[in-house]
Structure 1
């Protein structure tokens, strides 16, 4: 959001509509004519100590009116001892639009914080002063959330007011999402998920009390048990003699869960961060499922309420502070300008099937000239350098400190922020260009611990990433079946990284050798046809704060039957995954966040796979180009089958099937019958490869995800040898057998 000076010639009609609206009765202009409104605000315009501002959303929509004034030159001067650095403030949020468009959830809180940020952006301001009408309880609550403290009631010429103050420190320390109500919900949701997923992985065994009632330890609850040992625990039903505290619940199960003593604190920190993230979303993100049905790609991306559906601690982000979360978390939805550095070509790598400078020109246009002039102004030759995007957090917390020696000797040269604005995606370190959506995603390294991994990028590892992506894309594009399904991959086309530091010179891989690298991935926007729109596949297992599922809303809005909707989705998603496995021994990591759905009339008709370089495997001995050899994984037939059973059935579709069954949209058995039909139809169409794997076997090995994170929350698996890292807990019934 941004604020600009109010312009009466431009803004009078809008201003009049706002201040005379019944909801604005505390503003004191009910029934005023446009001429009267102009007169009032001309007084402000002529007062050097009082200013009016119009606030806009990032898309240019007018959202609010704000006023700032100097208390020493106002009526307040006779009511308290004005301090240097005091600034008065009023704010009015735009009333609901007359076209009955959906109310934007969380708007008032977002506007209030935008105005407070604006006030404190002036370094001379130490304290904000407000004097709302004592009858206005709603604004009093917003004031308290932001750190205001009421001093006393005072009599002004037009009202009895609450004289209240907020210091800069109080505002910076205000955490409106960390409140008892939000944390109670967050604790209930996390404990319910922990019971469900730990039971699914056979780590705990709740006792049945009959009639869908169960008990585990001190907690009684209601749950539905579906095949595949899928539990759906009702958070509202949790009852205990003590408090429902997720941290105590987890720590009390340390031995049962097998958490190493030395890693218990780390896992609990990820649990705590997950709780705080949930509370933040409950407080600030209030889009309903019905609203998201019609939302744009990035609104859906930022509205997701949790990460991976199977992991209990899935929102750790250890390293982010409060300001970092507000600035860089995907759910914050804030525009981010990436930082850019120049690095010596002789001490870095760049991989791209094309001209390097042409790549930079395509990505940031005239800004390249600005960066080259920056280098020349320091007596450096631009021909000696290449350009690398950096996450702002990484620059502040790591690069300027951890790589201080390289910055000092001009091997790394800080430049400027990007001209384009980006939005963080669910993976935290990947950014979508919102100013030029046709330009590539940018994926940066960030030394933040999240869901069992430090989110770095290895320059050495990424040297093979563009060739791997191109090889996979060639396989996909050259396959008639995959083309018929509309299946596509978003290639990671270019990669770069710095390797000239002491950490690389030791020859020992570590988190420090993964701190300064980046890659560029294709945007799906140029690949859309008329009438198509995009959504992360993670959205299909999303429920809003009221428990309403987006998948259910999409099916309802599509106008087709649930069975037809799911069958179409399976043809777009499941059939290509099966075909890649049977025809090419090619396995992806096809969970929700790694796929982008293409929707037509709210029905998924095709998909894009992404994160190819790190999460693809060729499971045979076919000839591969040397630079692609890294993705070869010779393994057993049973493990090949788990690429479908674990990664697709258990890791993702189990959750979607549970949602549709619970919502009464499509019974569990019917959902899996459609999945089975999809697999069998593929076998009928491709009999020569149908028997290569037994996808209709009665059971499959139960590979457990949470057990991996519980065993080592710092690194769940060895990326170079994932097979040996897996943990099993017996077998699960194959739902399509």
Structure 2
């Protein structure tokens, strides 16, 4: 709820005041002996601990009687987190009147022997404060808490009173029928967060509310947390609350189901049907996968076009082949059982198993922390701006790459690192800034921007001055150095150790944290500045093992990145057809790399040569403003394949929100996504990597109006023998028409659309047959276009071939878990498993 000087506008918090220990017995405006209506709490029939011999009783707050005391409490310095200290008594009275009149909020005064000790607000979190953030259950009850300030006379303070009040307030919430109590204290209010944990609240995740960053926390009746309220998780257990049987079981079931589905799709295993299909194509059947001498897996599944397997996760069983009894689902054991079938080399099996374990841990964390519903994500944050809404969705995702089994390996991250730097945690960090000696460092800038302009835009005058001041304080000349952002994990675990000599001789100088608050994105090396959303994304080296690669960033590769992006942006932004389709790119307009280390003096290439580099990429928020677009949302395209904890999909929710028929919604989406990708291939011989994490959708009332393509420098390719300047010639990879069409088949049809078709089919929104009919119709639109506006096609790709090569992504990772593709010969690294029938053939 909110409050300004006239109406409720400032978001309340669940704050107590840590100094609040009081024996106050009378309040001005409440004469001693006054008869007060008491709401007795049955849970407090016995004296609450720490409250002496009298129970704490709660009565509804009376605006006339209580405004004075609540005003004094709110204006106390210890209550600053309530952000209401500026209000006059009359404004507080009106505020309490609004609470009393509301259907979904209540105010309470807690009293000991008639002396008021605490003001409590309870609310319906599905309607107040958290309607777009929290997946509220019917018996959830939100709670805000304000304890009376402690008396100045320290002799009148009672040790442990605040804790006793907290327990009494929890008991009061139970008496109101709550099944779970929900609180959202400011993340910086560590005092109240301690009190919450003391009574058993579990901290789920950080959330953004209109005027604060909050820690969403819950306490469920009868849970382990409530039973252990007197001794919250501490010490070695801290940070591992998600690693409980109930959370890991959800993660295991999903990952085993995904592994069976994708390994079947890639023809690594061959399920056998136990029931007859009959005449219904795509009908669910009972299937079995036998692993000799180990396990039998039985499940209900549908087999859709492109050999896409949709498993009913709840039906999945694992049976012991010897004794026939059920065994727990275990993704690592599945990999070990299938090792020879999967072809994992002996010396790399441990690495892959470790990535699977980390993927399970990430999934368990996502299950533990909860998240918004699909409907909430489709509707969007009504209480935040476009940037806040975009980051809210970014942190809510549970499935980044739908094809890969081991997707969140992150070998190198600790449990604390997961909470600090993983996108699903939604936390913020600040980059560590180094000054790198200019003689050993290259800062490359896009056309039309000077170095001074770059730092002015990305750091601001104050931020730049602070970093330069630190150099001056060390007796160093800023002109001799170039500024370089480093991920804090990378600095602590790599730079401060592996570049110790460079730091000692001051070729690298540590300047400390820089400005901004950065939120990790689904592509984990990239972060978004939530304090300054108009500023660029920053992407840095992050030397963790993840999805078949060590996620470094090469200084040598960075040198051509701005020039490549300028060339690509010129092609795209100068194309009238792409503008009509709402297609644009986010340029990586600056890049930097340091090469003054010993690793770069060696002839042999190494991972250590990819530890210190960064790039800046245009913000979609800034690009929206430049294009003059307003009233649109931004959302990662990965959200179209996201399901919430109830199994509901964002794609289905967006279609419902749009008010369009499913075929019409899909046609608009494909016109914004598929047509531009195909157009770029045919007209400009320009190939992108168009998976879900690389696309940002523009939405208006649930309808897709356009897209931004990102991650250009490392993944774009010119597939024809076009004339290119030498400095950007590395992106030329000449292929024939069949291989060019295969890019659409593999990256778009197989990597995105087969999964979306499965989601909509299973949800009963659009049958798989109707889905591919719409795809065929949209492709026909491109086929029907002749030469447009004087621009002829360089290629005419045939997307109607009866069959095409079946490219397999998991096979790549299973073959080499440390580097699944040779970046110098990506096409030559591919593995195929026969052919797939084309769902739009003919």
TM range (shorter): 0.7 to 0.9
CA drift at 1:371: 0.7
Map of 2:208 onto structure 1: none
Following the alignment from structure 1 to structure 2, what is the Cα–Cα distance between the partners of residues 636 and 440?
Answer: 36
Q: Which runs of 5+ in 1 are unaligned?
A: 13-19, 79-85, 97-102, 133-137, 151-161
Indicate if the aligned counterparts of 1:449 and 1:455 stay in contact, CA closer than 8 A: yes
**Quick one: which of 341, 344, 360 aligns to 2:455?**
360
- Say if 2:303 is the partner of 1:207: no
CA drift at 1:419: 2.1
Note the alpha carbon deviations across 1:657-690, whole angstroms, 9 max, x for none. Answer: 1111111111111111111111121111136649
Distance 1:189 1:342, change over 3 A: same
Map of 2:510 onto structure 1: 414
Structure-1-length-normalised TM-score: 0.85
3-state DSSP of counterpart to 1:413: strand
CA drift at 1:532: 1.2
Distance 1:131 1:309, change over 3 A: closer
Note the alpha carbon deviations across 1:392-429, whole angstroms, 9 max, x for none. Answer: 11111111111111111111111122221121110111
Indicate if the aligned counterparts of 1:88 and 1:130 stay in contact, CA closer than 8 A: no
Distance 1:727 1:89, change over 3 A: farther
CA drift at 1:31: 2.5
Note the alpha carbon deviations across 1:136-176, whole angstroms, 9 max, x for none. Answer: xx84879954xx985xxxxxxxxxxx7x2347515x53522
- Say if 2:747 is the partner of 1:647: yes
Map of 2:340 onto structure 1: 255
CA drift at 1:526: 2.6
Map of 1:293 onto structure 2: 378
Following the alignment from structure 1 to structure 2, what is the Cα–Cα distance between the partners of residues 484 and 500?
Answer: 47
Instruction: State how 1:71-470 maps to structure 2 within 5 Å.
Output: 90=166, 108=182, 111=185, 139=219, 144-145=224-225, 150=228, 164-166=230-232, 168-169=234-235, 173-210=238-275, 212-217=285-290, 218-240=296-318, 241-295=326-380, 296-353=389-446, 354-365=449-460, 366-470=462-566
Note the alpha carbon deviations across 1:414-454, whole angstroms, 9 max, x for none. Answer: 11222211211101111111111111111111111111111
Following the alignment from structure 2 to structure 1, what is the Cα–Cα distance between the partners of residues 445 and 364?
Answer: 42
Distance 1:658 1:574, change over 3 A: same
Indicate if the aligned counterparts of 1:394 and 1:446 stay in contact, CA closer than 8 A: yes
- Say if 2:539 is the partner of 1:474: no
Following the alignment from structure 2 to structure 1, what is the Cα–Cα distance between the partners of residues 621 and 39?
Answer: 40
Indicate if the aligned counterparts of 2:403 and 2:809 stay in contact, CA closer than 8 A: yes
Map of 1:484 onto structure 2: 580
Map of 1:552 onto structure 2: 652
Q: Which runs of 5+ in 2 are unaligned?
A: 1-11, 20-26, 28-37, 45-55, 84-128, 135-141, 202-217, 277-284, 291-295, 319-325, 381-388
Map of 1:496 onto structure 2: 592
- Say if 2:704 is the partner of 1:600: no
Which protein has the larger Cα radius of gyration, Structure 1 or Structure 2? 2
Structure-2-length-normalised TM-score: 0.75
Following the alignment from structure 2 to structure 1, what is the Cα–Cα distance between the partners of residues 499 and 814?
Answer: 32
Distance 1:693 1:32, change over 3 A: closer
Following the alignment from structure 2 to structure 1, what is the Cα–Cα distance between the partners of residues 540 and 307?
Answer: 38
CA drift at 1:308: 0.2
Distance 1:73 1:734, change over 3 A: farther
3-state DSSP of counterpart to 1:165: coil
Distance 1:655 1:109, change over 3 A: farther
Note the alpha carbon deviations across 1:546-603, whole angstroms, 9 max, x for none. Answer: 1100000000110111111111111111111111111122111101000011111211
Indicate if the aligned counterparts of 1:87 and 1:119 stay in contact, CA closer than 8 A: no
3-state DSSP of counterpart to 2:60: coil
Following the alignment from structure 1 to structure 2, what is the Cα–Cα distance between the partners of residues 413 and 448?
Answer: 23
CA drift at 1:30: 3.1
Indicate if the aligned counterparts of 1:52 and 1:68 stay in contact, CA closer than 8 A: no
Following the alignment from structure 1 to structure 2, what is the Cα–Cα distance between the partners of residues 77 and 7?
Answer: 11
CA RMSD of aligned residues (A): 3.8
Aligned length: 684
3-state DSSP of counterpart to 2:635: strand
Distance 1:32 1:24, change over 3 A: farther
Following the alignment from structure 1 to structure 2, what is the Cα–Cα distance between the partners of residues 427 and 130?
Answer: 37
3-state DSSP of counterpart to 1:432: strand
Distance 1:22 1:480, change over 3 A: farther
Following the alignment from structure 1 to structure 2, what is the Cα–Cα distance between the partners of residues 28 and 392?
Answer: 49
**Quick one: which of 670, 681, 687 aligns to 2:781?**
681
Following the alignment from structure 2 to structure 1, what is the Cα–Cα distance between the partners of residues 165 and 640?
Answer: 42
